[in-house]
Structure 1
Amino acid sequence: MQFPDDDNGQMLAAMADAGIDLTQPLEVDFFLVFDDQRDAESAMEALTQTELQGELELNFDEESTKWEVIVCLQMVPEYAALVAKETELNSFAQEFDGISDGWGVMQHQHGDDEFADDDDDDHECSEHCHH
């Protein structure tokens, strides 16, 4: 798979190299950063009034001493869609003196086999096990 040579393209290439299926919907986190807590809270409140289909979270980043609104959206991580959503959220954040600070995905998504809870706690290994 070929990706544009920019931050978004490099992130998608790294995800593909890690074995993430980019044709399936993933939980994509978009990060909006604010210097002021009131601005971040106002932005988050405004987002709850939109038709945004996703989860919102407000965090204070001790390292950067900035406030983050994390917008988690279920979407297929397709380059054009990611760029469009990032641009849209950046314009939105700017209305509250914030900026978009990229996006990411958690390494282990819902449905990952490696961490699946199969309720097999009573399982006893035999010579045929492969884990």
Structure 2
Amino acid sequence: MQFPDDDNGKMLAAMADAGIDLTKALDVDFFLVFDDQRDAESAAQELAQSELEGEMELHLNDEVGKWELIVCVNMVPQYDAIVEQEMELNTFAAEFGGATDGWGVMQHQEGDDEFADDDHECSDDCKH
């Protein structure tokens, strides 16, 4: 697969190189950052009432000292769709004094049970 030579294209190329199937819907996490907690909470509240289908998580990122709103959208990770979603979220975040700060995908998605039980020790009876 060919991808544009920008951050989004490089991320998608790395995902493809890692064996992630980019033709299937994945949970894509978009990161929105805010300096002020009230702005972040207001953005989260408004986004929760919008038509955006996805899950959200808000927390203080101690490493950068900013409030981070993670918006998880289940989508096929196509370049144009990623760019469009990121631009929409950036415009939205700007209304609350924030901005997008990239996106990512957890490599182990639903149905991937490789790490389902970290305490499990294999025995002769295991069938995996």
Same fold (TM over 0.5): yes
User: Aligned letter for 1:88?
Assistant: E
User: Aligned letter for 1:22?
Assistant: L
Question: How far apart, in 2, do the equivalents of 1:28 and 1:35 lie?
Answer: 23
Question: How far apart, in 1, do the equivalents of 2:122 and 2:91 lie?
Answer: 52
Runs of 5+ unmatched residues, structure 2:
none
Question: How far apart, in 1, do the equivalents of 2:116 and 2:61 lie?
Answer: 30
Compute the displacement of 1:107 (Å).
Answer: 1.8
When normalised by structure 2's length, the TM-score is: 0.91
Q: Aligned residue for 2:82?
A: 82
When normalised by structure 1's length, the TM-score is: 0.89
Q: CA RMSD in A?
A: 2.1
Larger radius of gyration: 1
Q: How does 1:56-75 map to 2 (within 5 A)?
A: 56-75=56-75
- Would you say 1:94 and 2:94 are equivalent positions? yes
Q: List structure 1 segments (4+ residues) > 4 angstroms apart after TM superposition.
A: 120-123
Task: Report the 3-state secondary structure (helix = DSSP H, G, I; strand = E; otherwise coil) of the residue aligned with 2:33.
Answer: strand
Question: How far apart, in 2, do the equivalents of 1:106 and 1:86 lie?
Answer: 17
Give per-residue Cα distances to partners, 1:80-101, cap 9 Å, x unaligned: 0000000000000000000000
